[in-house]
Amino acid sequence: MRTKLRKWRTTFWLLSCMVLTMGFTSAYAGTPVRGGDLITGYGQFPSHFNHAIQSGAATAVPGCNIFASLVETNTKFEPVPYLAKSWEVSSDGLTYTFHLVENATFHDGKPITSEDVAFSFEIVKANHSFGPSMLGPVDRVETPDKYTAVFKLNNPHPALFMVLSPALLPILPKHVYGDGQPIRKHPANTNPVGSGPFKLAEFKPGDYFILERNPNFFRPGQPYLDRIIGRRIKDPNANFIAMKKGDFHLAMFNGGLRLKQIESLKKEKHIVVTSKGYEAIAPVYFLEFNLRKEMFKDVRVRQAIAYAIDRKFITEKLHSGFSKAATGPLHSSFPWYTDQVNTYALNLEKANQLLDEAGYPKKADGYRFSATIAWYPGEPDSMDTLAAYMKPQLKKVGIDVQLKPPADFVSWYKHVAGWQHDMTMSNIYSWGDPMIGVHRLYLCDNQKHVVWTNTSGYCNKELDAIMAKASVETDFAERKALYAQFQQILTEDLPLIWTHEAPYQTIYHKNLNNVITSVWGAASPADKMYWTDGKMP
């Protein structure tokens, strides 16, 4: 029954994709028109365009327009056809057979085949920072014919379709990247050959890049835009002025803008501001404890600090309503999210009581102990502002917070990766599924001298077992139940205090259509995007 349902869904989405490609008459307002450039600013500018070997939005956003993938993801976290026109999944969940479109070519005119799919799988698995977690369950990709790619799994992989999306597994041309040169230093990383809707026309590192329409894109009539021009944002104020004047048309991930500037832009008649399109990226911010430090070994101390933090004040006052309070390790956009956890509403009396019980009474100076807070630079509203808030707020319960501002990203990285921190403000992108982007913070065997791993030093074997089960469970209801336990355990143990979901916004000109068409938002191909009259304003 489950296999039949999968086949029915595949057929349904294939038909839907055909309807959308042919007319867009019902799903989108108006009729798409060809023409016009799109100018966008990048706060974090890409150093290259091969996101098969590197995670992060800076590389993935342009990369998703240069490279195509097997599937896309709709707004319901469901796969829809892209390079794969259809697929079947075996009843045991160990074989995924993908049938490729037969008219797709790379930018150099060479056809895309199953050999390119198998090659790309190997590259991502071996080189991407999430490669082992994303593709560990996949043993190999077989290529029985030119247009059939068969993924053979060692165990079920409920997140595989998310992995095969544009943001995580771009299809690289084997004839270009498989020439024997080291993939991380390959010249095609900065002069890429893909099969996406746009191809690189010009690149000045650290300054700008220009993508132009791929005239041979395998979706007839698409893309609609002539060019996408990405410019590095060196001064957020300049970006603010450019957006306000209409010189820039699109800013993603806040575009380096402060929230007060975004609030101002919302008042402009020609600008649209939306928080949609970050559901799969699912950024969650947190205060991380170093559990190797004596005072933080006691869960009552961690719980006391959670009770002392006013998340409502953070979201409503510090973030002007742009962010949302986080309740635990999973972003509220995730299908597996639950709010049935202890959310630690502000309670200073409870916080003081827990600290007393933990054996940290107030001394003559009113403090119980001192601890430092570090944070990484680059997001002042979510990092600097929040760290500054923690100092007077935790003073209310007798904790002397010493702020440790980083000189730069590298110094913060070394501090946290070296497990030298007491506490640090940080965040993660969840990347479409908990097993891809979330597990890494909590797995007992992932305590590495690398940031965005388990640098807190937390270990709970019961939680490890739950993560292991959730990583192979393909029944949605049962997997959701496992992740409910996951969230409940972590919100009691509190190796981290999850403060808020990112106040990320996408800001764009009102005449730009189809800006957000999936849960991946900007990390999606822009082939459906178009100007209302076919001209940029």
DSSP-derived letter for residue 136 is T
The residues facing 100 across adjacent strands are 84
pTM (predicted TM-score) = 0.89
Q: In which residue ranges of the chain is CATH 3.10.105.10 found?
A: 284-501
Give the pLDDT confidence score for residue 515 in this predicted structure.
95
Distance CA 276, CA 274 (A): 5
Distance CA 41, CA 251 (A): 6
Which residue pairs, CB below 8 angstroms and at least 24 apart, start in 436-443? 436/130, 436/133, 436/134, 436/159, 436/162, 436/163, 436/168, 437/130, 437/282, 438/329, 438/330, 439/133, 439/467, 439/471, 440/133, 441/329, 441/495, 441/496, 442/329, 442/467, 442/490, 442/495, 443/467
Token digits of residue 309: 């933090």
**At 94, phi and psi to the nearest 5?**
-110, -5
Token digits of residue 7: 């086949």
Please choose, from the candidates 38, 510, 500, the residue with its C-alpha nearest in 3D space to the C-alpha of residue 265: 510
Q: Top-level CATH class of 284-501?
A: alpha beta
Distance CA 80, CA 196 (A): 16
Q: In which residue ranges of the chain is CATH 3.40.190.10 found?
A: 2-231+505-531
Q: 107 Cβ partners below 8 Å, 6+ apart?
A: 193, 194, 195, 199, 214, 216
Distance CA 118, CA 135 (A): 12
3-state secondary structure of 262: helix
User: How do strand 512-513 and strand 138-145 relate by DSSP bridges?
Assistant: unpaired
Max CA distance (Å), the chain: 78
Contact call for residues 280 and 432 (beta carbons, < 8 A)? yes
Torsion of CA 523, 526, 529, 530, to 10 degrees: 140
- Residue 481 to residues 73, 208, 485, Cα–Cα distance (Å): 23, 46, 7
Distance CA 525, CA 228 (A): 11
DSSP-derived letter for residue 110 is P
Contact call for residues 526 and 228 (beta carbons, < 8 A)? yes
Give the pLDDT confidence score for residue 262 in this predicted structure.
96
Give the pLDDT confidence score for residue 385 in this predicted structure.
95
Per-residue pLDDT of the chain (537 residues; tens, 9 = 90+): 344 334 444 444 444 444 334 333 333 457 999 999 999 988 888 999 999 999 888 999 999 999 999 999 999 999 999 999 999 999 999 999 999 999 899 999 999 999 999 999 999 999 998 998 899 999 999 999 999 999 999 999 999 999 999 999 999 999 999 999 999 999 999 999 999 999 999 999 999 999 999 999 999 999 999 999 999 988 888 899 999 999 999 999 998 899 999 999 999 999 999 999 999 999 999 999 999 999 999 999 999 999 999 999 999 999 999 999 999 999 999 999 999 999 999 999 999 999 999 999 999 999 999 999 999 888 899 999 999 999 999 999 999 999 999 889 999 999 999 999 999 999 999 999 999 999 999 999 999 999 999 999 999 999 999 999 999 999 999 999 999 999 999 999 999 999 999 999 999 999 999 999 999 999 999 999 999 999 888
Token digits of residue 56: 């992060």
Topology, domain 2-231+505-531: D-Maltodextrin-Binding Protein; domain 2 (3.40.190)
Contact call for residues 167 and 67 (beta carbons, < 8 A)? no
3-state secondary structure of 425: strand
């430090």: which residue's tokens?
293
Burial of 122 per CB tally in 10 Å (0-12, 13-18, 19+): middle
Distance CA 159, CA 163 (A): 6
User: How do strand 506-509 and strand 271-274 relate by DSSP bridges?
Assistant: antiparallel
User: Residue 458, Cα to own-chain centre: how many angstroms?
Assistant: 23
Token digits of residue 292: 């190797």
Burial of 277 per CB tally in 10 Å (0-12, 13-18, 19+): buried
Distance CA 283, CA 331 (A): 7
Rg (CA), the chain: 24
**At 122, phi and psi to the nearest 5?**
-65, -40
């209801």: which residue's tokens?
477
Contact call for residues 512 and 249 (beta carbons, < 8 A)? yes
**CA angle 392–397–400, rounded 5-degree value:** 55
